[in-house]
Amino acid sequence: MQQLIECVPNFSEGNDLSIIKQITDQIEAVEGVRLLNVDPGKATNRTVVTMVGTPDAVIEAAFSAIRKAGELIDMSKHKGEHPRMGATDVCPLIPIANISMEETAAYAQKLAKRVGEELGLTVYLYESAQPNKNRSNLSVIRAGEYEGLAQKIMQPEWKPDFGPVQFDAKRGATVIGARDFLVAYNINLNTTSTRRANAVAFDIREAGRTKKENGKTVLDEQGKPVVIPGSLKCVKAIGWYIEEYGIAQISINLTNINVTPVHIAFDEACAKATARGLRVTGSELVGLIPLKALTDAGKYFLEKQQRSTGVSEKELIKIAVRSMGLDELSPFKSEERIIEYMLADNSRQRLIGMTLRDFADETASESPAPGGGSISAYVGSLGISLATMVANLSSHKTGWDERWKEFGDWALKGQQIKDQLLLLVDEDTQAFNRIMNAFGMPKSSEAEKQARTLAIQEATRLAIEIPFRVMQLAYESMEVIDAMAKTGNPNSVSDAGVGALCARAAVMGAFMNVRINASGYDDKIFLEEVMNKGRELEAKTQAKEAEILKVVNEKIGS
């Protein structure tokens, strides 16, 4: 299980693309790292870069990029809307796969130490990488920005964690840390007023605002300013004016999207803006976002409309983009913005990425794959897709408004089964190819023979398990098909009937593949269990198909 971390360095240059390219070239030169996104901003004069890879490779790439940024960027000449204190302003590491926050923090400290010692650059640690929690907050570290750094760095409480205790006029200072996944998100307003944008930002951000009466700060009994907290947890926000677009924005960092998702931040900003006589016109993402954040947003806005959420992933993303106006300032390209899409190995989904004609032509070719297993999975996906269609039609049927949620839930379940079956289309073919590759292994020595036998057995077991999973999913889909035949839109009952035929074909076809692959597997206990379950599923499927078709035929009539 490979460890993966994400690194999102922010460089204080957003206008000179040649400088940005020289920095990102350093990243792309490191093996084991993938550059996912480069997002320059003219008004902020800042570029957010996203890369992902194995920890050691990411550390190497980040170090090279920080070094190059220090060579090319002169902070004494830098102007921009975003708070900043260095050429590489901030460089966070984020755990992505098979690595803890503690381990990620250790890598951040390793990087910071190297930057301080080898580059002679002033470095502060933040978030999980900073042992001193009194100075772990990025906004506190960056207070005073570049212009106040010369004085701040000399204060004992702000001695750098690594590097020299002296002001570097050209490079400034860098903040390196480890944190959870953060979504940088800007909300557009129909005003040019930074003060009014700030007012909305203070309304929603967790830190809120200092309470004032008659223009004076209200103090508590201890003499400390009284703070009015904002309405959203795990939200940092400020207002600014973006000359490039001619609008003011609320610039937001969502530090935990499980606590405050993007769509909740958007809706709350809309409400607070409206209360102040403003209007939200759209929004924009900076960098990448997890897929679930957008699909959850799509479901949220559909539910507000009392519409079925059982639509495709692509449709959910489209709803989210339209509802939050993510394409107001520039086109929103899912393949460049969603982290899972950027990391996806599309070669593993070759078949389901084909057109219908290409898929049929590929099946009809002299190649033995895709074969019956992949076709069974695809037929099963078509069967549940028909039932899901009936559920969505029923959810939106005139006069059935009170039942939208009932049918929407059936559609959602159908979409989940469909997506799993579609993945198995390619996985079945990959399992077959794995068997062929195992048979092609060398067998000259006894060791080679043993390795070949083991590989054949492992591949064969996989080639049994995948079609068996197709059987389970296709049978599971019949619950949705049955419900749609009995309670769905009567005008679409024939579609439910065809769905039942497809599900039956998927179960029986997949079982044929289980049986033929079982002939080459040696674990008899495993085989007996699978075959018994397979025969049971086949019998249940045939009985359920008969039950569904009886209902369908009675409703259709002669």
Q: Which residues are catalytic?
A: 82, 428
Q: What span, in angstroms and rounded, lies between the C-alpha atoms of 277 and 285?
A: 24
Structure-token pair, residue 292: 């679930």
- Greatest Cα pair distance in the chain: 91
| 8 A C-beta contact, residue 24 and residue 35 | yes
Q: With CA atoms as reference, report the closest residue to 122 among 77, 144, 89, 92.
A: 89
Contact 223, 285 (CB under 8 A): no
Pairing of strands 247-254, 235-242: antiparallel
Describe the chain by its helix, strand, coil percentages, rounded to 5.
Answer: 55, 15, 30
**CA nearest to 534, candidates 555, 514, 557:** 514
3-state secondary structure 352-387: CCCCHHHHHHHHHCCCCCCCHHHHHHHHHHHHHHHH
Pick from 528, 411, 549: which is nearest to 464 by CA? 528
Rounded-to-integer distance, Cα 102 and Cα 543, Å? 54
Q: In this structure, what are the phi and psi dihedrals at residue 241, rounded to the nearest 5 degrees?
A: -105, 130
Query: Given the DSSP bridges, would you call strands 212-213 and 216-217 parallel, antiparallel or unpaired?
Result: antiparallel
348 Cβ neighbours under 8 A, 6+ residues apart: 426, 430
Structure tokens belonging to residue 181: 């996944």
The string of DSSP letters for 503-549 reads: HHHHHHHHHHHHHHHHTT---HHHHHHHHHHHHHHHHHHHHHHHHHH
Taking residue 423's Cβ as centre, other Cβ atoms within 10 Å add up to 17
Pairing of β 88-97 and β 173-178? parallel
